[in-house]
Structure 1
Amino acid sequence: MAGHEADVIIVGAGLSGLFAARTVLAAGLTPLILEADERVGGRILTEEVLPGLPVEIGAQWIGDTHHRMFALADELGVETFPQYDEGETTYELAGSPVLRGDEFHRRFGGELAELTTVLRLLDELAAEVPPEAPWRAPRAQEWDAITAGAWYDGQGLSPVARTLLEICTVGILAVPTVEVSFLHLLFTIQTCGVTAELFAESEGGAQTTRFVGGTAEIPNRLATLVESHLVLDAPALLIEHATDSVTVHCRGGRSARGRRVIVAISPMLAGRLMYDPPLSGYRDQLTQRMPNSAAMKAFFVYDEPFWRADGFNGQLISDVGPARMSNDTCIPGDDHGVILMFLEGEQARTHGHWSQEERQAALTAELVRHYGDKAAHPVAYVDGEWGSRQWTRGCYNANCGPLVWTTYGPALAEPIGVIHWASTDTATQWSAYMEGAVESGERAAREVIEALG
């Protein structure tokens, strides 16, 4: 690729970069995608835990209002199927033993009513936040000066309601709520458009649909459409930019020259690139303050989904852990039972340092508490942690702590000369989801198409 030229250089072959490349190519411009990894997909990663049995180490679901993703799947010929959701959830919260869903709701009905009240208030406040400019919300300064956790603590919730709210929020942001500004939480709710449903116990608004063959079918098929414009194992190091041209230098002395560049990686990773001339301190201060979150997923495979016969849906919610939540993630047409366990925020940071054997033993004990002795005998196990992956360094998304949006927010997606920004973290619709990745790639592509006429 040394000396390669294109109209638009795209750094990163995740969903944002691939969609931007396809859009640019359809407009009659020539893209060149430079991907640091040896695969495409970024935070989408499908692996086979057994022959013919794919599991999603990365992004897995889309929701009913993810219209771009449904359209993209249809265009690429990727079929979908609904997430299994029949039966009861089990709960293990605030010192209570493991309870079936019906018993939990009978015992803690009053506490859950408190939670409903708080969710309605979150809906009302989020409606005041413009997703394209959250720093312009009428109370932006007030909301950005406190953490989401501090706001939660001020609502007078019972231990059960407060714990459940924390678990569901961390399940979305993948960081403890004390690390995220309240304005960022409201922004996230607003960009997702489902407000309180985003915090439902099953996260039903965002997790209703899966992809036949695995989520990686989407980036893999997109990559085939732009295959001749894609270079793998090409980590970008330096972006030289002038008034009407850009040169991206990669490891090994390779380089590519273009008229525009779309940096389609998370803000934190974008901040690790070198720029000549250097970007403003304003932009750099932003990327220093948008760390990637921490998440890992662990999959247990059994001969059959035995929990279904006992009336369970495979979803647990626990503050004992190690996992805080789980899902039945079986594949239709396959006899195996598969349970996915989530370790997010502090759980991912802590247990990510354990050996796989230690993690599996601790998670097995948790499953046995919820589903009985049959859970102790999986036929396969696999897990995946994202913070140690060189070209990702965290998942699911980037989060803003206090005073980041109101101080540096305008620098997040605003082009700097010939440099444009994409990634789900920059989206204004379904930020932090695949839908947001497509939206941001679409926006960045539109910007360069308009700029180049």
Structure 2
Amino acid sequence: MASRSADVIVVGAGISGLVAARTVLQAGLTPLVLEADTRVGGRILTEEVLPGLSVELGAQWIGDTHHRMFALAAELGVDTYPQYDDGETSYELAGAGVLREKAFHTRFAAELADLQRVLRRLDALAAEVPPDAPWSAPHAAEWDAVTAGAWYDAQGLAPVARELLEICTVGILAVPTVEVSLLHLLFTIQTCGVTAELFAESEGGAQTTRFTGGTGEIPNRLAAQLSDHLVLDAPVQLIEHSAEHVTVTCRGGLVAQGRRVIVAISPALAGRIMYDPPLSGDRDQLTQRAPNASAMKAFFVYDEPFWRAEGLNGQLISSDGPARMSNDTCLPGDDRGVVLLFLEGDQARTYGRWPRADRQAALTAELVRHFGPRAGRPEAYVDGEWTDRQWTRGCYNANFGPLVWTTYGHTLAAPVGAIHWASTDTAIRWSAYMEGAVEAGERAALAVIDEVLN
């Protein structure tokens, strides 16, 4: 039986865990990162699908206000470049057929103006939600008792506006709005600023910038700085803990001793670890009610980005599907055209079960509707779904249904003796994004450092 010791054990080598471990190391303490998978990155996964062409099966963008991620990329020597956004978006909503952006906005100007009314109302409500304690908001009980979908339905929106609002929200949460409470939606908006940062139809706000070489460069370079403090293929099964000591046992026999442990994985996965003594019933009930969302990305590769010459930006928004949204995701310096299609929530669950060839055919037909016959002749196709991945079990984040925040939310990030919690799901700024993962990792690490050194 192998054994290791460190000041701080970190469970999980996603961005949160790697940032936490590096922060611990920079403070003069010894970290040890235990990762269940055979790779680092967690919900980040960059894969080369053709010679010289990599795609992001996981996290891909950062936004203009993701200051921690910009700083981290610069420190690690990873350059960034802007998301392509020139041209019109293609719309297909409420049985209106396929319309280009200008025609869509002209035809549905009144409906879209009414949608802005609802978005401003969401901003006003979200401003009342403390991101570090959503359950303490003045109307928390009322907002947590209703789903976001039911609240949307009560706003009197026309079908086009209601469908657009649903698509944009599912694009953030990756679950239907009837599965999350209004309080959870308001919390998400509050941690990210305002709805303009999240619901931009042009994929702006939170998705303005990409990484040269792929998002995987971030965790890979962090891991290189921690190579002596990182163990892969080490699923944690048991955490024994007291006020001042932890013993972490992994499948395969590795046992790690430390003074503190940071569990930097999603709440659902953290709930599958055994704890001795057991955690409180409230904490366990939380992890049973914080499922990871459902998301799939599908990439079509063409000989060139032909849609650009036709005045399109490669983005579609569709209620017909199978995909609800798309992006131009070409690489700079590469002549090939790449379109990324998003299947989130019910779309990921439904079409993720289809045979790959049938799914590709359905998505191809959708692209042809929006971008013309050339979209029907891709050079390559690749997709990736996240709920089947053993060590993630979903993307992008954990979602809270009705009454979860007000009943169990206080246990989400609160330390339990020597156990601290990280992962983007626990962040109070840009929760569910890479920016939130960095914030959560830093927060947990600083708390642990203070406890150990003081």
TM exceeding 0.5: yes
Alpha-carbon deviations, 1:135-165, whole Å to 9, x = none? 1111111000000000000000000000000
SS of the counterpart of 2:60? coil
Aligned residue in 2 for 1:202: 202
Distance in 2 (CA, whole Å) between partners of 1:202 and 1:435 is: 20
Whether the 8 Å CA contact 1:120–1:196 is kept in 2: the answer is: no
CA RMSD of aligned residues (A): 0.7
- Tell me the amino acid that sits aligned with residue 325 of structure 2: M
SS of the counterpart of 1:317? strand
| Shift, 1:194, TM fit | 3.4
Whether the 8 Å CA contact 1:248–1:255 is kept in 2: the answer is: yes
Distance in 2 (CA, whole Å) between partners of 1:243 and 1:155 is: 50
Aligned residue in 2 for 1:174: 174
Alpha-carbon deviations, 1:260-289, whole Å to 9, x = none? 000000000000100011111010001111
Alpha-carbon deviations, 1:211-240, whole Å to 9, x = none? 000000000000000110000000000001
| Shift, 1:84, TM fit | 0.3
SS of the counterpart of 1:272? coil
SS of the counterpart of 2:248? strand
| Shift, 1:193, TM fit | 1.1
- Tell me the amino acid that sits aligned with residue 219 of structure 1: P
Distance in 2 (CA, whole Å) between partners of 1:337 and 1:446 is: 44
Structure 1's unaligned 5+ residue stretches are none
SS of the counterpart of 1:375? helix
Matched, 1:403 2:403: yes
Distance in 2 (CA, whole Å) between partners of 1:303 and 1:441 is: 41
| Shift, 1:203, TM fit | 3.0
| Shift, 1:202, TM fit | 2.1
- Tell me the amino acid that sits aligned with residue 265 of structure 2: I
| Shift, 1:197, TM fit | 3.2
Aligned residue in 2 for 1:66: 66
Aligned residue in 1 for 2:41: 41
TM (normalized to structure 2)? 0.99
| Shift, 1:243, TM fit | 2.1
SS of the counterpart of 2:271? helix
Aligned residue in 2 for 1:352: 352
Distance in 1 (CA, whole Å) between partners of 2:118 and 2:300 is: 34
Percent sequence identity is 78
Aligned residue in 1 for 2:229: 229
Structure 2's unaligned 5+ residue stretches are none
Distance in 1 (CA, whole Å) between partners of 2:405 and 2:368 is: 43
Equivalent positions of 1:84-103 (< 5 A) are 84-103=84-103
Aligned residue in 1 for 2:425: 425
| Shift, 1:177, TM fit | 0.1
**Range with bigger deviation, 385-394 or 202-211:** 202-211
Whether the 8 Å CA contact 1:170–1:176 is kept in 2: the answer is: yes
- Tell me the amino acid that sits aligned with residue 176 of structure 1: P
**Range with bigger deviation, 49-58 or 24-33:** 49-58
Aligned residues: 453
Whether the 8 Å CA contact 1:197–1:203 is kept in 2: the answer is: no
| Shift, 1:3, TM fit | 1.7
Distance in 2 (CA, whole Å) between partners of 1:255 and 1:243 is: 19
Equivalent positions of 1:272-283 (< 5 A) are 272-283=272-283
Aligned residue in 2 for 1:141: 141
Whether the 8 Å CA contact 1:296–1:384 is kept in 2: the answer is: yes
SS of the counterpart of 1:448? helix
Whether the 8 Å CA contact 1:176–1:345 is kept in 2: the answer is: yes
Matched, 1:264 2:260: no
| Shift, 1:71, TM fit | 0.1
| Shift, 1:354, TM fit | 1.0
Whether the 8 Å CA contact 2:196–2:205 is kept in 1: the answer is: no
- Tell me the amino acid that sits aligned with residue 437 of structure 1: A
Whether the 8 Å CA contact 1:17–1:33 is kept in 2: the answer is: yes
Equivalent positions of 1:197-346 (< 5 A) are 197-346=197-346
Aligned residue in 2 for 1:191: 191
Whether the 8 Å CA contact 1:194–1:205 is kept in 2: the answer is: no
